[in-house]
Amino acid sequence: MTIPRWQGVLFDLDGTLVNSIPLIIASYDHALTSVLGQGRPEPEVRGWIGRTLTSVFEQEYPERAAELESTYIAWNRANAATMIGRYDGVHDLLVGLSDAQARFGVVTSKRRATAREALVLAGADDLVDVLAASEDTSEHKPLPAPLLHGAARLSVPAEGCAYVGDAVVDVQAAKAAGMTSIAVTWGAADAATLEAAAPDHLVHTAYELHDLLLGSAGSGGDTQAMG
């Protein structure tokens, strides 16, 4: 029987398990242009991914934050079904974890309802039992509270967990929580940006991630260990 490398594995959602980055970027653009008449450059918007909408809008546009957030959410939910996609190999990875009786779950800055909807659209909802969403903690990534909450839900100590994400805030939150940080390059941030954040591991495909978490999947490549 395959023995998972870590006692528990926690995943970010957007850009890690589900291909929602185009939807997020378009949702930000819609909200900004509708409410303010002007968007922001895509690289800047990509840098916001992984944080809660509230924290982004309150920092960037405190006087219009509530209006921007509600406009974003309405457009995002209206377009999720046609814009959320799947990453090659992710479903097989989750099935492999389940078959190995691994303890795993999702820690996301999304609200629970929209996170579940994204999992359903990506065909992964039936594989994810533990879902820690933005409502569960008062502090959010890059602070460790959401990840520590997720570990508690798994009944696994933080030091026995790995956190997998596609953004710099994911790496920062994992380090702050005392977890192994695993960065994936198929989401919001590019490899150079993630490498600069010094994750413990940097992987480029879901098959490499399978190799790292569970052993060889028979179709992956080399996994890059940082440090």
Q: What is the pLDDT of residue 223?
A: 52
Q: What is the mean pLDDT of residues 12-39?
A: 98
Distance, in Å, from the CA atom of 169 to the CA atom of 119, rounded to the nearest integer, reads 21
- pLDDT of 1 > 70? The answer is no
| CATH code of the domain made up of 21-83 | 1.10.150
Residue 186 has which token pair?
């198929």
Mean pLDDT of 174-192: 98
Instruction: Summarize pLDDT for 213-227 with one digit per residue, the tens.
Output: 997 543 444 456 665
What CATH number was assigned to the domain covering residues 8-20+85-225? 3.40.50.1000
Q: Average pLDDT over the chain, rounded to whole?
A: 94
Equal CATH topology for 8-20+85-225 and 21-83: no
Rounded to whole angstroms, the Cα distance separating 177 from 137 reads: 14
pTM above 0.85, yes or no: yes
Q: How far apart are CA 122 and CA 143, in angstroms?
A: 27
Task: Report which of 157, 146, 148 is spatially closest to residue 111, judged by C-alpha positions.
Answer: 146
Domain ranges for the chain: 8-20+85-225, 21-83
Q: Quick: pLDDT tens for 53-67.
A: 999 999 999 999 999
- Per cent of the chain over pLDDT 90 is 93
pLDDT tens-digit readout, 145-176: 999 999 999 999 999 999 999 999 999 999 99
Selecting among 12, 14, 166, 170, the annotated active-site residue is 12
Q: Model confidence over 79-99: pLDDT tens digits?
A: 999 999 999 999 999 999 999
Specify whether 12 is catalytic: yes
pLDDT at residue 2, rounded to an integer: 81
Residue 47: CA count within 13 A, CB half-sphere:
7
Say what the pLDDT of residue 222 is: 44
In the predicted model, is pLDDT for residue 115 greater than 80? yes
